[in-house]
Structure 1
Amino acid sequence: MSNDLVKLLLVGTEETLYMVLLSSIVAFLIGVPIGVLLVVTDKGGIFPLYKVNKIAGFLINVIRSTPEIILIIILLPLSKFIVGTTLGANAAIVSISIGSAPFIARIIENSLKEVEFGKIEAAESMGATPIDIIKKVLLPEALPSIVRGITIAIIGIIGFTAIAGAIGAGGLGSLAIRFGYQRFRTDVLIGTVVILVIIVQAIQLIGDLIAKSINKKRFKFE
């Protein structure tokens, strides 16, 4: 493996990990509250608000139904406003975060809805407030499922960064397109694929281990 190839792959990997890390954090901070909102405001929820629930659900479905490459292009003006440019990793983080947040919100929603309703009723009967139920019942009980879902979401964000690379975001996706495809460098193309596979496998392994660890601790104390 030549030195220039190693350098290209290292830079691309660094940019990809940077985008994935920050995009995941921002998307998580946006998506988790929305996911909780969808559950608690749903019909039969602990704080039902029909109109709020339907509006939030509609907006999430609109964003999720928009193809990723189109969503990135649509959000370029917002990226320009926030980070001052439409190119590079920082600009891509804005689009990727907004595009991924609805997916995370649905993951949180589905995970929380798996919690046994009897546990919620028991908490309510003891005078727990909606906030207490969310913090002490819903989130702790759904945590293993949430971890697995978030793992899938992060892997999806990796794919999102590759797509963003097509419009100048940098990272391994951009490297594969600009050097691997457009310049017919098979070594670069193969290198980017291998690194992406390693990253995905590592994230999946870590996510599974964390989820199993949480389950073991829960069974230990039950």
Structure 2
Amino acid sequence: MRENEFLSTWPQKKYFLLYLGMFIFFLCGVGWGAREAILLDRQEKEIVVQEAAKLLNTVRQSYNPETVFTYTSGQLFSIYLLLFLLGLSVIGFPVAFAVVFSRGVMLGFTGAVLASQNSGKGVFLALAALLPQNIVYLPSLLLAASGTVVFAIKLFKVYFSREKKLGFTFAGYVVLMVFAAAAAYGAAAIEAYLSPKIIFYFLK
């Protein structure tokens, strides 16, 4: 067992195309989400804007950062647990690409809707609502999703080789997922405690 096997599920140059492909999937999701927002007719867009306005008013009146953090953290735990299990399942790793794509769709749609509203403040509002937490969250998601695919591939190879020991490779996978999840929880804290203050500033 080579010494560097512990880190064999961490980012490496030989998996550059995988990381690039994962990022492209994310960008495709952003483009798809933005396209869906642009294609909304006037009535549908008004409904979306009205619902967003109601949500913002509710947040202004009774915003509780602890509740938001708890809810967001629960969602993140589900996502990263899913990614972890997908790696162990071997054949389920393509879903990791779907997770990344769906995140892109959500950001693209939300950003396009926000940017089209509130006159000249729309773009700044979109950036304020989406950028702070995603600066931390997106790298952690892409890292976790890529690690899922890499580990699944390695596990698949083990099934068809004489070497039946995963050992340090599995340990590296666990550490990678814990590290990525910890970064995501930091993003949840930013979303709960910092982003609302920035959003309220632009809504004044």
Q: Normalising by the residue count of structure 2, what TM-score does the alignment of the two structures yield?
A: 0.50
Query: Are 1:137 and 2:125 matched, yes or no?
Result: yes
**2:40 matched to 1:42?**
yes
Kindly indicate whether residue 186 of structure 2 is the aligned counterpart of residue 209 of structure 1.
yes
Confirm whether residue 5 of structure 1 aligns to residue 2 of structure 2.
yes
**Any residues of structure 2 matched to 1:1-222 within 5 Å, and which?**
4-10=1-7, 13=10, 14=12, 18=16, 21-43=19-41, 44-45=44-45, 102-108=101-107, 112=110, 123-124=118-119, 128=120, 133=122, 135-143=123-131, 150=138, 151-152=140-141, 154-163=143-152, 165=153, 173=154, 176-179=155-158, 182-186=161-165, 189-221=166-198, 222=200
TM-score by length of 1: 0.47
Contact 2:9 2:147 in 1 (8 A): no
1:148/1:211 contact within 8 Å kept: no
State the distance in 1 between where 2:131 and 2:142 align: 15
How has the CA–CA distance of structure 1 residues 205 and 138 changed in structure 2, closer, same or farther, with 3 Å as cutoff?
Answer: same
Higher relative contact order (CA 8 A, sep 6+): 2
User: How far apart in 1 are the matches of 2:160 and 2:131?
Assistant: 41
Aligned partner letter, 2:172: I
Residues 9 and 192, structure 1, Cα contact 8 Å, conserved in 2: yes
Where does the alignment leave 5 or more consecutive residues of structure 1 unmatched?
A: 47-67, 73-95, 166-172
Alpha-carbon deviation of 1:212?
1.9
Give 3-state SS (helix, strand or coil) of 2:162's partner.
coil
Q: Among all aligned residue pairs of Structure 1 and Structure 2, give the percentage whose two residues are the same amino acid.
A: 12
What is the SS of the residue equivalent to 2:31?
A: helix
Q: How many pairs align?
A: 151
What is the CA deviation profile of residues 72-112 of structure 1, one whole-angstrom value per residue up to 9, with x for unaligned ones?
8xxxxxxxxxxxxxxxxxxxxxxx87x666333333257x2
* Paired residues of 2:33 and 2:105 also in contact (CA < 8 A): yes
Aligned-partner Cα distance in 2 for 1:180–1:191: 17
**Unpaired runs of at least 5, structure 2:** 47-89
1:102 and 1:177 map into 2 onto residues whose CA distance is: 24
CA contact (8 A) 1:20 1:158 kept: no
**Matches of 2:183 and 2:137 in 1, distance apart?**
13
Instruction: Quickly say closer, same or farther: Cα 1:104–1:34, change in 2 above 3 A.
Output: same
Pair 1:11–1:158, CA change in 2 (3 A): closer
Once residues 18 and 185 of structure 2 are traced to their aligned partners in structure 1, the CA distance between those partners, rounded to angstroms, is 19
